[in-house]
């Protein structure tokens, strides 16, 4: 056997082992994430799903394109939207993801700067938890973990029962 053939086989075996390790870590990470998210759904039963997009942009105006996790958006159970003081979205589907059905942290208060007022105290609690999650998920230390778990150029949808990953389009 030639040196090159041996090297190819060694590298191939190493790649297979790395992929096996990634799959195991992805599965373990998903369990940890599901457990943590379950606590959020229990604390805030008004929430039907959490969703975020994570990707490396194709263009960054001359700067390096780096992987990022974008703001977590939330979908509320239909009956909870008006109770929380939020604007009802037409054709709201609490079980499905549609950008127009979800709320981000900007939707949770009225006004700007020092004049900003939360639409309700409950929404303020949800806002604070989303901000903490956004800080964790967007942190330098956790972004690579999310990329390894779910991939690049994806939308991650978390419900009380499952985590779904789908491709997403972006600029």
The pLDDT tens digits of the residues spanning 161-170 come to 889 999 998 8
b (16+ CB within 10 A) / e for 22-38: eeeeeeeeeeebeeebe
Using the structure block, give the residue that is written with the tokens 């195991």.
24
How high is the pLDDT of residue 78? 77
Burial of 58 (0-12, 13-18, 19+ CB in 10 A): exposed
Domain-wise residue ranges, the chain? 3-167
Q: Which of 161, 144, 130, 139 lies closest to 52, judged by CA?
A: 130
pLDDT in tens, 118-150: 888 999 999 999 999 999 998 988 898 899 889
- Cβ atoms < 10 Å from Cβ of 82: 11
Place of tokens 């939707």: 107
Tokens at residue 15, please?
């790649």
Which stretches of the chain score pLDDT less than 70?
1, 88-100
């Amino acid at each position: 056997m030639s040196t090159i053939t041996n090297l190819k086989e060694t590298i191939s075996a190493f790649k297979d082992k790395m992929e096996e390790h990634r799959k195991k870590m992805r599965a373990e990470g998903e369990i940890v994430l599901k457990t943590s998210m379950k606590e959020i759904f229990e604390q805030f039963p008004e929430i039907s799903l959490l969703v975020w997009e994570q990707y490396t942009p194709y263009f960054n105006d001359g700067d390096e394109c780096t992987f990022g996790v974008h703001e977590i958006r939330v979908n509320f159970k239909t009956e909870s939207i008006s109770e929380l003081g939020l604007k009802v979205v037409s054709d709201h589907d609490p079980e499905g993801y549609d950008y127009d059905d979800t709320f981000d942290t900007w939707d949770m208060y009225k006004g700007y700067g020092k004049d900003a007022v939360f639409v309700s105290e409950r929404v303020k609690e949800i806002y604070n938890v989303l901000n903490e999650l956004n800080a964790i998920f967007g942190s330098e230390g956790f972004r690579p973990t999310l990329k390894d778990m779910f991939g690049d150029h994806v939308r991650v949808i978390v419900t009380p029962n499952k985590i779904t990953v789908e491709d997403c389009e972006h600029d």
